[in-house]
Structure 1
Amino acid sequence: MSVPEHITTWRDARFDMPVGRQLERYNELAAKNASARARAELVARGVYDPARHGAEERPALTVDEHVELLALAECVARTVRHPSNVHHALLAGVTWTQIAHVVDSDELTVRRAYRQWAEDQHDLNQRYPDRGMTAEEYAAASARVAEGAGDTR
C-alpha cells in the first residue's frame, strides 16, 4: 500500500492506511514536534547544552506535517470512537450508566447518539441489504434505547 507524502484530511488517512499505520505515523510526527519544541524552549531559556541535549538539528514540523498530524489525530479518534463500540458493549451487557460514565456524558445523550446510529444503520440496510441493521436488529436496538428510560427524543 502506498502512502501519500502528506495526509491532508481524515478521510485520506482513513482510506489510505490501516489504523495501526495511522498511529505509527501520528506518533512519529508528534515525537518530532515535541522534540523540536523542547529544543526551541531550551534554547529560548538559555539552558540548551548540546552535550546533554544532543547536537542534532530538530526542525519544526512543516505546515503540511501539522495538517497531516491533525488529520491523523481526527481519523484515529473517529475510528476508535466508533458508535459500533457502544452497540457491542450493550450487547455484552454494559449498562447505559456505565457507557455514559466512560464517555463522560449523560445517559440521554448517549442513548440519542446510539439511536441515531441505529437509524443510520437501518437506513443503510434498506439501500444495501448486506450491510447495516436489519429490521429485526433495528427493533432490538430501539428497544435497548428505551429500556429503563423515559422518552429520549
Structure 2
Amino acid sequence: MTTPEQHTTWRDARYDMPVSQQLERYNTLAARHASARARAELVARGVYDPARHGAEDRPPLTVAEHIELLALAECIARTVRHPANVHHALLAGATWAQIAGVVDSDERTVRQEYQRWADDQHDLHRHDPRLGMTAEEYAAATARVAEGAADM
C-alpha cells in the first residue's frame, strides 16, 4: 500500500481499488487503531505490562489515517450497499417488505430509492447504450416499484 494521502471525500478513498483491497486497508488501519487505544487504556489504568502486552510501540493513527479510515468505511459501505443489490433481490423474487426489513427502512423509502436508481440507470443508457437500463428494463423496474404500492 502507498502512504495515505489526505482524503476529502469517500470517492478519494482509493475508489479505483477492488473492495477486497479497500477492506484489507480498512482492517489494517482499524486493527492499528484498536491496538493503540488498548495500549493507551492499559497504561492509563496502570496495568500495562510489556512482558504480557508486548513492548512494541503502538502509536495512534495520524489525522490523515483517521480520515482515510473514515473515507474507506464510507466507500466500502456505498460499494456493498449498492442499489443494484435491491434490483437483483427483486429479480430473484424478494418482496418489498423483505427488502425494507433487511435494510431497516420502510417500503415507501425503499421503492423511492430504487426508482431513483432506475431513473439514473435509464439516463445512463440514453447517454451510452452499452450501460444502464434499456427502455424495456426501465419500464419493468418502474412497474416493479408500482406493484402493490396502492396497498401501502
User: Which interval holds the TM-score relative to the shorter structure?
Assistant: over 0.9
> Is 1:37 matched up with 2:40?
no
Partner of 1:134: 134
Runs of 4 or more, structure 1, over 4 Å off, are none
What TM-score do the two structures reach when normalised by structure 1?
Answer: 0.93
Unaligned runs of 5+ in 2: none
Identity %: 74
Partner of 1:6: 4
1:5 positional shift: 2.1
- Would you say how many aligned residue pairs link Structure 1 and Structure 2? 149
Supply the distance in 2 between the matched residues of 1:123 and 1:59 (Cα, whole angstroms): 48
What TM-score do the two structures reach when normalised by structure 2?
Answer: 0.93
* Counterpart secondary structure, 2:58: coil
Partner of 1:120: 120
After superposition, give the CA deviation of every residue in 1:56-107 in whole Å (9 maximum; x if it has no partner).
1101001111111111111100000000000000000011000000000000
Within 5 A, what are the aligned runs for 1:91-106? Answer: 91-106=91-106
Residue identity opposite 1:29 in structure 2: L
CA RMSD of aligned residues (A): 1.5
> Is 1:78 matched up with 2:97?
no
1:150 positional shift: 2.2
> Is 1:55 matched up with 2:63?
no
* Counterpart secondary structure, 1:133: coil
1:4 positional shift: 4.4
Partner of 2:26: 26
Residue identity opposite 2:23 in structure 1: L
Unaligned runs of 5+ in 1: none
